[in-house]
Amino acid sequence: MPDVGEGLTEAEILKWYVQPGDTVADGQVVCEVETAKAAVELPSPFDGVVHELLFPEGTTVDVGQVIISVNVGGDAPAEAPAVPAAAPAPAAPAPAEEEPEPQGRQPVLVGYGVAATSTKRRPRKGATAVSAAVPEQAAAAIQGELNGHGGVATAARPLAKPPVRKLAKDLGVDLTTVTPTGPDGIITREDVHAAAAPAVEAPAPVVEAPAPVSAPAAVPAPAVSADARETRIPIKGVRKATAAAMVGSAFTAPHVTEFVTFDITRTMKLVEELKSDKDMAGLRVNPLLLIAKAVLVAAKRNPDINAAWDEANQEIVLKHYVNLGIAAATPRGLIVPNIKDAHAQTLPELSKSLSELVATAREGKTTPAAMQGGTFTITNVGVFGVDTGTPILNPGESAILAVGAIKLQPWVHKGKVKPRQVTTLALSFDHRLVDGELGSKFLADVAAILEQPKRLITWS
């Protein structure tokens, strides 16, 4: 099990895409795993034939454990072992005289090279013996031959581990242009962030409160008898990470929540007009798009709202960029992917980014990188018919805005009571960073923009 990113120590195997006896190619996805932050697809580092799957679906495996072995000799084993019902006990090492001489590259765990201390396994009876590791004397030679993706290192393919390659893909970084600083010329996460820095300022990693993602292959629900009075569900994955983050946030940052109720009728009319605008053709236009834009304009007018509290260094970190998080609820739990540098995007660009963010979350393909570095979050509880709420901050952020349901209500407009579209916004903020004056001004600005959307132009 490779380190899929951000210091995570374990992952649950959601689904195997291959079975013993299947032919696989270098880079082919062999399984999907769920970490505390996202579902991640793992590629095979070899061309060969799957010999054994060492853990069944639904098993939580520590980083570093062997989960699959591949016969790289090209021949399928005589008898392909089935997926075990539970994690196998370590096999006793075979005597040195019984250990076969290594023939070429040997199978290792997905995403890693060969470790010199890898455990040797006895050959199985009735099957061609395929080791889950290689003899120690061959390890050093093969390790130098492998790049981070399990292939042979060549001048055309930079050295980088799968999580680093994934990070580079997410940030749009070409690994061939990155200067490696890791041992033996391996590209590290820091190298990728440094290469991306001219285009995207890499924020300090923070633990993000997950936003919803669509559930890929979910673990079967616990069996419940017809007369059961209780059901127990293991706390793991996104749910476990969300719980830890919310408890940490609630009892670390002193929360204050303020509310404003206002007439959003003009913004709703603008939404309808934009839907027929040729410049927005093919793009999704909804109230959330203009609310997000209003937040970005208000943040520009009140820049101190976009900050973080650095407890270790006793500093307030003002962010001169906005990575706008959008909370999404899915069967796997709550996740908050964010739009990088949302403050620099035009309205059409912001619409496209929002659509991609939501679609990726629903498909369960949100990456850990997409949930890192958020600076401000919007949670739209109004889609559930809820008027408002008191949201908890994502760790590392100073504020979060809850958007309530937009409803037709009686409202005093130009001296007369008329039916108008009305909504309520709730802003929770960290009172160490944001005092009542700043929080009130920011919230009032967001409401003022949405009440008179022409301010999107005059205040920009």
* CATH number, residue 86: 2.40.50.100
For the chain, helix (H) and strand (E) counts, in that order, are 9, 18
Q: Are residues 276 and 296 in the same domain?
A: yes
pLDDT in the model for residue 64: 84
pLDDT in the model for residue 258: 96
Q: Are residues 262 and 381 in the same domain?
A: yes
Q: Are residues 262 and 142 in the same domain?
A: no
Number of structural domains in the chain? 3
- Containing domain of residue 100, as a range? 10-149
Handedness of CA 7, 10, 12, 17 (dihedral sign): positive
Q: Are residues 253 and 315 in the same domain?
A: yes
Residue 339, H or E segment: strand 338-339
CA 191/CA 160 separation, integer angstroms? 10
The count of C-alpha atoms lying within 13 angstroms of the C-alpha of 350, restricted to the half-sphere facing its C-beta, is 25
Say if CB 37 and CB 12 are below 8 A apart: no
150 φ, ψ (degrees, to nearest 5) = 90, -5
CA 366/CA 355 separation, integer angstroms? 13
Handedness of CA 243, 245, 251, 253 (dihedral sign): negative
| Amino acid identity at 258 | E
Is residue 338 domain-resident? yes
DSSP one-letter code for 278: G
The count of C-alpha atoms lying within 13 angstroms of the C-alpha of 184, restricted to the half-sphere facing its C-beta, is 12
Say if CB 374 and CB 320 are below 8 A apart: no
Q: Are residues 54 and 31 in the same domain?
A: yes
CA 74/CA 2 separation, integer angstroms? 24
Give the residue numbers marked as catalytic. Answer: 431
Q: Are residues 404 and 323 in the same domain?
A: yes
Residue 14, H or E segment: strand 10-16
Q: Are residues 295 and 435 in the same domain?
A: yes
Q: Which two tokens stand for residue 149?
A: 């993706």
pLDDT in the model for residue 5: 59
265: helix, coil or strand? helix
CA 278/CA 363 separation, integer angstroms? 29
CA 192/CA 148 separation, integer angstroms? 14
pLDDT in the model for residue 122: 40
160 φ, ψ (degrees, to nearest 5) = -165, 145
Radius of gyration, alpha carbons of the chain: 26
CA 64/CA 391 separation, integer angstroms? 37
CA 402/CA 425 separation, integer angstroms? 6
Residue 287, H or E segment: helix 287-301
Is residue 331 domain-resident? yes
* CATH number, residue 337: 3.30.559.10
CA 1/CA 10 separation, integer angstroms? 8
Is residue 128 domain-resident? yes
Is residue 213 domain-resident? no
Q: Are residues 127 and 167 in the same domain?
A: no
Q: Which two tokens stand for residue 262?
A: 């206002």
444 alpha carbon, distance to own chain's centre: 32
What residues contact 169, with CB distance under 8 A and at least 6 apart?
A: none
Q: Give the pairing of strands 376-380 and 10-16.
A: unpaired
Is residue 2 domain-resident? no
Is residue 30 domain-resident? yes
CA 402/CA 381 separation, integer angstroms? 7
Is residue 214 domain-resident? no
Q: Are residues 41 and 88 in the same domain?
A: yes
pLDDT in the model for residue 89: 42
Burial 92-104 (b: 16+ CB within 10 A, else e): eeeeeeebeeeee
409 φ, ψ (degrees, to nearest 5) = -140, 160
61: helix, coil or strand? strand
CA 362/CA 377 separation, integer angstroms? 18
- pLDDT digits (tens), the chain, 460 positions: 887 655 567 888 888 999 999 999 888 889 988 876 677 888 888 888 998 999 998 888 888 889 999 998 744 444 444 444 444 444 444 444 444 444 444 433 333 333 344 444 444 434 333 333 433 333 333 333 333 333 333 345 678 777 777 777 777 788 888 888 887 788 887 788 777 764 433 333 333 433 433 333 444 455 555 667 787 777 776 667 767 777 777 767 788 999 999 999 999 999 999 999 999 999 999 999 999 999 999 999 999 999 998 888 889 999 999 999 999 877 677 889 999 999 999 999 999 999 999 888 888 888 888 888 999 999 999 999 999 999 999 888 999 999 999 999 999 999 999 999 999 999 999 999 999 999 999 999 999 999 999 999 999 8
* CATH number, residue 166: 4.10.320.10
Last residue of a domain, one of 149, 169, 192: 149
402: helix, coil or strand? strand
Q: Are residues 170 and 26 in the same domain?
A: no
CA 449/CA 32 separation, integer angstroms? 44
Residue with tokens 């009440």: 451
CA 73/CA 129 separation, integer angstroms? 12
407 φ, ψ (degrees, to nearest 5) = -130, 150
Q: Are residues 195 and 290 in the same domain?
A: no
Q: Are residues 258 and 361 in the same domain?
A: yes
Say if CB 207 and CB 243 are below 8 A apart: no
CA 61/CA 11 separation, integer angstroms? 6
Is residue 397 domain-resident? yes
CA 456/CA 290 separation, integer angstroms? 9
